């Protein structure tokens, strides 16, 4: 008879300890330890007698695997062209953001048998959602189950091409005494589902909850087990949603897909640049346009800044969709290199449309937007600003300059400020396109500010 003992496991990174502690020594997160029940017993050591077969890499012929298309181009783009058979995909996001809606729409369009396992909703709830989304597919089967053994039995008998589990936190393995959603249950359930995916060569999609910090709940090892990690994000006050790839063994990371949430479900955004700029005002200060690269896609986005005097002790620094620490650095550069007295000013920065951009190529646009609002000067009409700003006030070159310029020209922007280091890339563009554009190359922040405004 086995003897039960307890241990404490960090829900963030999986670190284990025999007693509860407040701060995890591995990931330094606070109050993340949960009590887990373990079983210990005497196990006889056995000699390894299994067979194996190795392959020489130089003699192995790589064959392209046929991917499973979801029927949603934005979803397939983020996956790298579709679902790879035998892969495990983890999708995380805030409650109510539209994760279940996205996978249900994709499941109805897949050319193959799909098993949708739900532990959070009843058949009636799924039916009502499908009716609202206009879904009526004979190849989509629904199973309301949380017992892992029953789920695995259904997968073995049904032999689906795609298995969707909504959500992994509701699944439990009956052999374990831990409750569903604990670190042990999530880890073991995900491992079992991964083995089934590899054994039956079917794709498994796991929907995961997120913590209040915005990270996927459960042990960090869960993200290492799966092949692809997708984050579904967006502001609930905005109708746009972004599906972002954080890990992908079969495609590009940081690839994004953009959707619009409507009453009839999620709709793909074919031209996101035009959508994000359609409400832009050109006759006010503090707003400029820049070109960013998200994955392999160029996006034209609007950077908005508002600078006002502070009548209190500490001026406010607020950034929405942009790194707050990066904003503090750029403000320091503007004070030191451009001579602007911003130490007594409130600075509010916003990336319009609910996007979050971490690419340094929009640094120069952020600086110009701040100067535009501070000096109440309107930037040139039809201007796109691209460049990374260094601590010395130098403008550094950026990548994929051809994609950025083509996207700007496609939407009618004829004036572009570029880093001087990208001059060599500009010569490779189409000659007709080069003749239509007014390009200013600069390597200095002050020169870039001079080119940004009408004299």
- Beta-carbon contacts of 153 under 8 Å, excluding residues fewer than 6 positions away, are none
pLDDT at 254 over 60: yes
Indicate whether 261 belongs to any domain. yes
Looking at the fold, whether 119 and 213 belong to one and the same domain comes out as yes
Assigned token pair, 255: 């690839």
Environment class of residue 418 by beta-carbon count within 10 Å: exposed (0-12), middle (13-18) or buried (19+)?
buried
Q: Is the dihedral of CA 175, 181, 182, 188 positive or negative?
A: positive
| Residue 91's pLDDT band (cuts 50, 70, 90) | very high
Determine the pLDDT at residue 210. 79
Q: In the prediction, which pLDDT does 111 show?
A: 92
Helices (H), 166-311: 183-200, 221-225, 272-277
The whole-number pLDDT of residue 45 equals 52
CB 28 within 8 A of CB 22: no
Per-residue confidence (pLDDT) for residue 55, from 0 to 100? 75
Please answer whether residues 227 and 87 qualify as being in contact, where contact means their C-beta atoms are separated by less than 8 angstroms.
yes
Instruction: Order across the sheet with 3-10: list the strands.
Output: 16-17, 3-10, 33-40
CA distance 445 to 394: 6
Shared domain for 133 and 185, answered yes or no, is yes
Same domain, 256 and 289: no
Q: Which of 270, 304, 325 lies at the terminal end of a domain, its last residue?
A: 270
∠ CA(404), CA(258), CA(116), 5° rounding? 145
Residues 384 and 413: beta-carbon distance below 8 Å: yes
**CA distances from residue 283 to 63, 257, 286, 372, 377 in whole angstroms, order as listed:** 56, 31, 10, 12, 10
Residue 369 lies in a domain: yes
Give CA–CA dist 307/367, Å, rounded: 12
**Residue of higher predicted confidence among 381 and 59:** 381
Domain boundary pick from 229, 245, 270? 270
Question: To 10 degrees, what angle do helices 183-200 and 148-158 make?
Answer: 10
Decide: residue 115, CB within 10 A, 0-12 exposed, 13-18 middle, 19+ buried. Answer: buried
Provide the whole-model pTM.
0.80
Could you tell me if residue 429 is inside a domain?
yes
Both tokens assigned to 452: 């940004």
Cross-strand partners of 309: 345
- CA 374 remoteness from chain centre: 33
54, part of any domain: no
Q: Is 298 marked as binding a ligand?
A: no
Q: Do 321 and 236 fall into the same domain? A: no
Buried b (16+ CB within 10 A) or exposed e, 383-394: bbbbbbbbeebb
Give me the percent of the chain exceeding a pLDDT of 90: 62
Query: In this predicted model, what pLDDT tens digit does every residue of 270-328 receive, in sequence order?
Result: 888 988 898 888 889 999 999 999 888 899 999 999 999 998 888 999 999 999 999 99
- Which of 80-84, 210-214, 331-335, 373-377 is predicted least confidently? 210-214
Q: Structural domain of residue 182, as residue ranges? A: 67-270
Regarding whether 190 and 138 lie in a shared domain, the answer is yes
Report yes or no: 226 and 194 within 8 Å, Cβ to Cβ: yes
If 0-12 CB within 10 Å is exposed, 13-18 middle and 19+ buried, where does residue 429 land?
middle
Instruction: Answer whether 393's CB lies under 8 Å from 339's CB.
Output: no
Mark whether 265 and 280 lie in a shared domain.
no
Residues 285 and 300 in one domain: yes
96 marked ligand binding residue: yes
- For the segment 212-217, the average pLDDT, to the nearest whole number, is 65
Q: How many domains does the chain have?
A: 3
* Domain-located, residue 48: no
What is the average per-residue pLDDT within 46-62?
Answer: 67
Angstrom distance (rounded) from CA 260 to CA 241: 6
Percent of the chain with pLDDT over 70: 92
Is 51 a domain residue?
no
- Same domain as 141, residue 10: no
Crossing angle (nearest 10°) for helices 324-337 and 445-452: 90
Are 7 and 36 spatial neighbours (Cβ–Cβ below 8 Å)?
A: yes
Q: Confirm whether residue 295 is marked as ligand binding.
A: no
Same domain, 359 and 264: no
For residue 59, give the DSSP letter: G
Counted residue by residue, the chain has a size of 455
Q: Which residue has the tokens 């904003």?
A: 327
The answer on pLDDT for 60 being more than 70 is: no
Q: What is the DSSP string of 394-426?
A: BEEP-S-HHHHHHHHHHTT--EEEEEGGGHHHH
Give the HSE-up count for residue 319: Cα atoms under 13 Å, Cβ half-sphere. 17
Show which of 216, 251, 270 is a domain's final residue.
Answer: 270
Per-residue pLDDT, 61: 54
**Where does residue 136 rank: exposed (0-12), middle (13-18), buried (19+ CB within 10 A)?**
exposed
On the question of pLDDT at 128 being above 50, the answer is: yes
Is pLDDT of 4 > 80? no
* pLDDT category of residue 441 using cuts at 50, 70 and 90: very high
Does residue 347 register a pLDDT over 50? yes
The Cα 192–Cα 10 span in angstroms is: 21
Q: Are residues 187 and 223 in the same domain?
A: yes
264 and 406 inside one domain: no
Cβ atoms of 327 and 292 closer than 8 Å: no
First to last CA, the chain: 86
Average pLDDT, the chain: 88
Stretch among 10-19, 95-104, 194-203 having the lowest mean pLDDT? 10-19
Measured in whole angstroms, the distance separating CA 309 from the mean position of its chain's CA atoms is: 36
60 domain-assigned: no
Q: Is 94 annotated as a binding residue?
A: yes
Is 386 annotated as a binding-site member? no
d(CA 251, CA 245): 9
Per-residue pLDDT for 41 more than 60?
no
In a domain, 53, yes or no: no
Q: Annotated binding residue at 126?
A: no
Task: Give me the phi and psi of 99, to 5 degrees please.
Answer: -65, -50
Mean predicted confidence (pLDDT) in 357-372 = 96
Phi and psi at residue 193, to the nearest 5°: -65, -35
Residue 221's contacts (CB-CB under 8 Å, 6 or more residues apart) are: 14, 187
What is the pLDDT confidence band of residue 1, given thresholds at 50, 70 and 90?
A: very low
Do 71 and 89 share a domain, yes or no? yes
């Amino acid at each position: 008879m086995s003897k039960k003992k307890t241990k404490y496991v960090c829900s963030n990174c999986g670190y284990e300890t025999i007693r509860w502690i407040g701060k995890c020594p591995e990931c330094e997160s606070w109050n993340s330890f949960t009590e887990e029940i373990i079983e210990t017993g005497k196990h006889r050591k056995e000699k390894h007698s299994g067979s194996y077969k190795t392959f020489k890499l130089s003699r192995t012929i790589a064959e392209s695997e046929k991917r499973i298309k979801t029927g949603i181009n934005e979803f397939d783009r983020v996956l790298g062209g579709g679902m790879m058979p035998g892969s495990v995909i983890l999708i995380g996001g805030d409650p109510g953001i539209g994760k279940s809606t996205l996978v249900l729409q994709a499941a109805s369009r897949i050319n193959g048998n799909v098993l949708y396992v739900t532990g959070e909703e009843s058949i009636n709830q799924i039916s009502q959602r499908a009716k609202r989304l206009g879904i009526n597919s004979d190849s989509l089967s629904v199973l309301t189950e949380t017992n892992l053994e029953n789920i695995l039995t259904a997968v073995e008998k049904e032999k689906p091409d795609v298995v969707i589990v909504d959500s992994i936190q509701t699944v439990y393995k009956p052999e374990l005494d831990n409750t569903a959603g604990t670190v042990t249950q999530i880890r073991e359930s995900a491992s079992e589902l991964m083995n089934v995916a590899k054994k039956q060569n079917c794709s498994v999609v796991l929907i995961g909850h997120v913590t209040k910090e915005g990270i996927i709940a459960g042990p960090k090892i869960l993200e290492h087990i799966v092949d692809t990690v997708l984050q579904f994000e967006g502001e609930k006050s905005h109708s746009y949603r972004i599906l972002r790839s954080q890990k992908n063994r079969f495609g590009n990371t940081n690839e994004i897909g953009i959707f619009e949430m409507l009453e009839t479900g999620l709709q793909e955004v074919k031209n996101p640049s035009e959508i994000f700029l359609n409400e832009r005002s050109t006759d006010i200060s503090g707003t400029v346009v820049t070109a960013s690269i998200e994955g392999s896609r160029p996006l034209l986005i609007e950077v908005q800044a508002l600078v006002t005097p502070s009548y209190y002790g500490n001026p406010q620094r607020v950034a929405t969709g942009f790194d707050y620490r990066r904003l503090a650095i750029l403000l320091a550069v503007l004070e030191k290199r451009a001579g602007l007295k911003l130490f007594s000013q409130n600075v509010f920065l916003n990336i319009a449309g609910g996007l979050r951009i971490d690419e340094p190529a929009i640094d120069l646009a952020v600086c110009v937007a701040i100067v535009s609002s501070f000096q109440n000067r309107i930037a040139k009409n039809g201007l796109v600003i691209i460049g990374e700003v260094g601590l010395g006030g130098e403008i550094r070159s950026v990548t994929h300059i051809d994609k950025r310029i083509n996207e700007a020209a496609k939407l009618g922007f004829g004036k572009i400020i570029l880093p001087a280091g990208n001059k060599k890339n500009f010569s490779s563009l189409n000659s007709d396109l080069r003749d239509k554009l007014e390009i200013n190359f600069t390597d200095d922040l002050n020169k870039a500010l001079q080119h940004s405004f009408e004299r």
